[in-house]
Structure 1
Amino acid sequence: MSTTTTSTTDAAPRRRGYGSLWAAVPREFGFLILTMPIAIIGLVIISTVFFTGLGLVAIVVGIFLMVASFYIARGFGTLELVRLRWAGRPEIRRPVWERVDSAQGFWRAVFGPFIDGHYWLYLLHSLVVNPIVSIVSWSLTVAWTATALAGVTGWIWQPFIPNDERTFWLNQWLLERFLPDAAPIDPVFGERVLEVLIGVIFLLTLPLVFRGLTLMHDAIARGMLGAWRSEALEREVAELAASRGAAVQAEDASLRRLERDIHDGPQQRLVRLQMDLATIERRLEHDPDSAKALVGEARDQAREALDELRALSRGFAPPLLQDRGLASALESLAARSPVPVEFENRLATDASLPAAIERNAYFIAAELLTNAAKHAGASAIRLRVASRDTGASGHWLDLWVTDNGHGGASPRPGHGLAGLEERVHGLRGLIVVDSPAGGPTVIGAHVPYVPVAASAT
């Protein structure tokens, strides 16, 4: 069986050297040289709209102009984040603009930017911070680039420029000040050599300057234009609440299904068994032959009720799961399947699965094997369980069930796979279904977990 490995972490960044700085120079130069024009355009447009709206705030149109300035500032701030990403900087997580309560009326949506701190930070960035910083970075970019290029190429084009009236030579002034006893040299030749040295120094430091200026813009953008940590925590709480709700719904559906199965199956057989025993008791003395026949029927009823209870008990975690762990419980589950199951255990010896994860994994595997045996028309099933450590994304438990049936399985509402999907999502995991018509069917459930040893520390 082929398995799918999902890479959740990027490769560790390699150590960057001086050559890699030069490789990034074209993109960083493009970013820096366009910074001031974009900042000035944004300053002119946003200041015009915002302060016009502020002057007309007494009437309704002023409010709409101020709101428009907020959205324009948001657009220029987003453009800055996109440009930084294009310049090779790591992506900055953007704020979540669409709020859950943003669709609760027209005026609430209009006044939303006034109470959202991100809009004010974007406005401050466009009106004050970015214009000032961009002037500094743009000036340094132009000056450093011009000095480097002029220095290393000046000896080519400067001979064509008349300098008869020139009275000050920088190389002579430096020699007279620091080396007064040095032999005199031709001032024109000395000036050319000095300019080349200066140009080489500026050229060698050019990628360092570009990287520093780009990092300055990146730091400012992360502080003013990026999402806040509190928003990430808020979103995490919302996801946990949704996951808990999905888990409760899945468990409630499982309990209702179990109650219905017990009512329709073993309970009816036990009621009939009770009635048969009462009849046997009445006929035992007067009609022993008929009572003997009823005893055989009662025995059949008891056996069938016991078989149904055993089948239903597969929905409960067996004692073997608590005593010997998930691998042994799944191996026993595979052995009891009416369809031959090949079990493959790839659990790490130090997996240390929490009890809740083991219990849910057992339920998921039992449901998948039952579906494959009842609905897939399969003659062979393969069950595979594995654990993996993805590093930054934590530990994951993988369950794969493959059958050679007729395929066509999908998590449609009201079907077993839909309930499984809710259960897996309740565990903050994901389920993958690959079941083309004609088979085979491959279903994978992937559940994150925290090892017991790690959670206890």
Structure 2
Amino acid sequence: MPTEPGPTGAAVPSADAPRPRRGYGGLWVALPRDFGFLILTMPIAVTGLTIVSTLFFTGLGLIALVVGVFLMIAAFYVARGFGVLEIVRLRWTGLAEIAEPDWSRGDREHGFWRATFAPFVDGHYWLYLLHVVVVNPIVSIVSWSLTITWVSTALAGLTGWIWQPFIPDGERDFWLNEWLFERFAPGRPLAWDPVLGERVLEIAIGVLFLLSMPFVFHGLTLLHHVIARGMLAAWRSEALEREVAELAASRGAAVQAEDASLRRLERDIHDGPQQRLVRLQMDLATIERRLDRDPDQAKALVVEARDQAREALDELRALSRGFAPPLLQDRGLASALEALAARSTVPVAYENAMAPDAPLPAAIERNAYFAAAELLTNAAKHSGATAMRLRVATRDLGSAGRVLDLWVTDNGRGGASAVPGHGLAGLDERVRGLRGQLIVDSPVGGPTMIGAHIPFFPESTADPVV
């Protein structure tokens, strides 16, 4: 899929895709690729038939022996190789790409013996075997014969007037143009030389075959494509199975990220504001006891208590950044990110490139804000940067929805990575929980470029579990 550079130079998927050529001119452009595919079809099909059928039926005859089983397994894998070759060759023709099956799906591939005997229980291997041994040879003979017929007829008809005069006709008494004239105008004498008429008729036939060649070649290639899509492509149930597995994994990652965030918040509250509030309570009790007996000391304790209260308030404010601020709920993500950038201890250049006609779901806004806050905080604490850049944008993917791109760049020392148990790893889990992707590009020496790409549908109102 095409890519477009992100704000930091990293490549991100683009919504633009090449459009297929249409019309007669487009068929002529695709003619060399269609011809290259068709002319090699029968040699490859015959080779595959010879090798696979020899291995399979020899193994079937020796099934009582151990070697027969392994010969059949070899036939399955060779058939798979020829099937994949067919998919690759069809991809070169420019037709719609055929998705290969997931050969390692499920638990069948766990262990040597399961992987070895997997072809016997995998329907794809049997379909590939059927395609190589039966279907492809039959279809290839037909398509290859028609290809040779069309090419030879077009070339012979267009060039026959050059080389046929050098070939002796002998006592030739049959001319196709004369025979056709007698059928359409019986009893009338032929008004032209039959040799000249034969040359003109051959040129007309050559032109007809040449003009129809793009349609014939493309139709034959489409025939192979339809058969390959039906026999060699992944099943729809597999796509649904992968979708369910990815969704389960993303929700599991979201739950883990949320659990880690709650544990970290609990630890921070316990180690910070809670300890200070306990100290404040003790100081107030001491002040109450000494207020009458030692006012000067009580006054000093009041100053300490005030400092403790201020520090506890500062820590609570810092911790509250882990919650959605009222500004995010009232004015949206753009304003909340602008305020977040303004509060940073390191200067942040903020750029908003979000489309105004793509309202974000609340869950996407909330998680994008948390991701930006986490990235800016990490950069300010650990990178040694003197300047940062925060960019947020949206991209339209058509029927696939839209993508929110969040980039944070700093000029620090670099070397950042998603180490398990640290901030970036938790952020990566949070983004994957939204079925997004976190890109970290942080070479030693900097700069560091981190991008979060989160897909969404503007009309969606559902809150994912994050």
TM-score normalised by the shorter chain: which range applies? Answer: over 0.9
Which of 148, 156, 176 is the matching residue for 2:154? 148
Root-mean-square deviation (CA), in Å?
2.3
Q: Does 1:173 align with 2:179?
A: yes
Q: Which runs of 5+ in 1 are unaligned?
A: none
Task: For residue 2 of structure 1, report the CA deviation from its aligned partner.
Answer: 4.1
Q: Displacement of 1:239 after TM fit?
A: 1.3
**Per the alignment, in what secondary structure is the counterpart of residue 146 of structure 1?**
helix
Alignment-derived partner of residue 412 in structure 1: 419
Question: Aligned to 2:201, which of 191, 194, 198?
Answer: 194
Residue 392 of structure 2: SS of its match in structure 1? strand
What is the aligned counterpart of 1:98 among 101, 104, 116? 104
How far is the alpha carbon of 1:437 from its aligned partner? 4.5
Structure 2 residue aligned with 1:429, among 424, 431, 436? Answer: 436
Q: What does 1:150-165 align with in structure 2 at a 5 Å threshold?
A: 150-165=156-171
Q: CA deviation at 1:332?
A: 2.5
Once the two structures are superposed, what CA deviation does each residue of 1:262-282 show, in whole Å capped at 9, x if it has no partner? 111111111111111222222
Matched residue, 2:317: 310
1:91/1:309 CA distance change after superposition, 3 Å: same
* 1:285-434 equivalences in 2 (<5 Å): 285-434=292-441
Alpha-carbon distance in structure 1 between the residues aligned to 2:190 and 2:173:
20
Q: When the two structures are aligned, how many residues end up with a matched partner?
A: 456
2:77 & 2:122 partners in 1: Cα distance? 12
For 1:141 and 1:102, the matched residues in 2 are separated by 42
Corresponding letter in the other structure for 1:270? L
Describe the shift of the 1:2–1:42 C-alpha distance in structure 2 as closer, same or farther (beyond 3 A): closer
How far the C-alpha of 1:169 sits from its partner, in A, is 1.7
TM value normalised by structure 1: 0.93
User: Which moves more between the two structures, 115-124 or 413-422?
Assistant: 413-422
* Alpha-carbon distance, 1:54 to partner: 1.9
Aligned partners of 2:212, 2:116: CA distance in 1, in Å? 49
**1:116 alignment partner, one of 108, 119, 122:** 122
Q: Is the 8 A contact 1:46 1:126 kept in 2?
A: yes
Is the CA contact 2:428–2:437 (under 8 Å) kept in the aligned structure 1?
yes
- Would the aligned equivalents of 1:352 and 1:453 in 2 still touch at CA under 8 Å? no
| Aligned AA (2:182) | E
**SS of alignment partner, residue 107 of structure 2:** helix
Residue in 2 aligned with 1:76?
A: 82
What SS class does the counterpart of residue 24 from structure 1 fall into?
helix
2:28 aligns with one of 5, 12, 22: 22
Determine the structure 2 residue equivalent to 1:222. Answer: 229
Mean Cα deviation higher: 155-164 or 405-414:
405-414
1:252 paired residue among 239, 251, 259: 259
* Partner of residue 19, structure 2: 13
| TM-score, length basis structure 2 | 0.91
- The alpha-carbon deviation at position 89 of structure 1 amounts to 2.7
Q: Report sequence identity in percent.
A: 75
What is the alpha-carbon distance in structure 2 between the residues aligned to residue 291 and residue 54 of structure 1?
Answer: 98
Measure, in 1, the Cα distance between the counterparts of 2:89 and 2:439. 36
CA distance in 1 between partners of 2:158 and 2:297 (Å) = 117
| 1:136 aligned partner | 142
CA distance in 1, matches of 2:327, 2:34: 62
CA deviation string 1:187-246 (max 9, x = no partner): 222222222211221122122211111111111111111111111111111111111122
- Relative distance call for 1:132 and 1:454 in structure 2 (3 A) is farther
Query: 1:311-363: per-residue Cα shift (whole Å, max 9, x none)?
Result: 11111111222222112222222233233333332222222111111111111
* Superposition deviation, residue 3 in structure 1: 4.4
Q: Do the aligned residues in 2 keep the contact of 1:9 with 1:392 (CA within 8 Å)?
A: no
Equivalents in 2 of 1:273, 1:55: separation in Å? 89
